[in-house]
C-alpha cells in the first residue's frame, strides 16, 4: 500500500491546527484513523515535516553474510547433522541458530549434506 500524499497529510494537519475541531472529528472527516492523525501531528511537531518514512524492504537472513564460512563448514564436516552444524557454527562464530534456519541457509547456498555410510 502506498503512503498518503504529502498534500493530503498537510490538509489533515492544517484542518486540525485551525483549532476549531478535535482529532476524532478530523479523522472522521478525512476517513482515516484517529491514531494516524495523532501520528501526523507528532511527526510535524518532532521532525518538522510530514514526509512518509521509507517502506518495507527485505529481511536479511541471519546467516546471509556467512556464505563462505558455511561452505567451509560443510566441506570439512560433510557427515554432520543440522543440529551439529548449528552447534559448530555457534561455538566458532558465536552465531546461534536453530536447525530450520541452518537448513534454509544451506539450501540458499545450494550446499548439500551427503551422508557417508561406509
Q: What is the pLDDT of residues 2-40, one digit of tens each?
A: 889 999 999 999 999 998 899 999 999 999 999 999 999
Please provide the average confidence, as pLDDT, over all residues in the chain. Answer: 89
Q: For residue range 65-84, list pLDDT tens digits in order.
A: 888 899 999 888 888 889 99
Cell of 110: 545450494
Evaluate whether 23 touches 38 at the Cβ level (below 8 Å). yes
What is the longest distance spanned by two Cα atoms in the chain?
84
pLDDT at position 116 is 59
Q: Which three cell numbers stand for residue 57?
A: 524492504
Q: 57-69: b or e for each residue (b if 16 or more CB lie within 10 Å)?
A: eeeeeebeebeee
CA gyration radius for the chain?
Answer: 26
Amino acid at each position: 500500500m502506498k503512503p498518503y500524499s504529502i498534500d493530503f497529510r498537510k490538509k489533515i494537519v492544517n484542518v486540525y491546527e485551525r483549532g476549531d475541531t478535535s482529532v476524532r472529528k478530523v479523522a472522521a472527516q478525512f476517513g482515516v484513523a484517529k491514531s494516524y492523525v495523532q501520528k501526523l501531528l507528532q511527526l510535524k511537531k518532532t521532525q518538522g515535516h510530514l514526509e512518509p518514512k521509507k517502506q518495507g524492504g527485505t529481511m536479511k537472513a541471519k546467516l546471509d553474510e556467512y556464505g563462505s564460512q558455511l561452505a567451509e563448514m560443510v566441506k570439512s564436516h560433510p557427515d554432520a547433522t543440522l543440529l551439529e552444524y548449528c552447534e559448530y557454527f555457534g561455538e566458532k562464530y558465536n552465531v546461534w541458530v536453530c536447525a530450520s534456519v541452518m537448513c534454509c541457509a544451506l539450501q540458499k547456498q545450494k550446499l548439500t549434506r551427503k551422508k557417508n555410510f561406509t
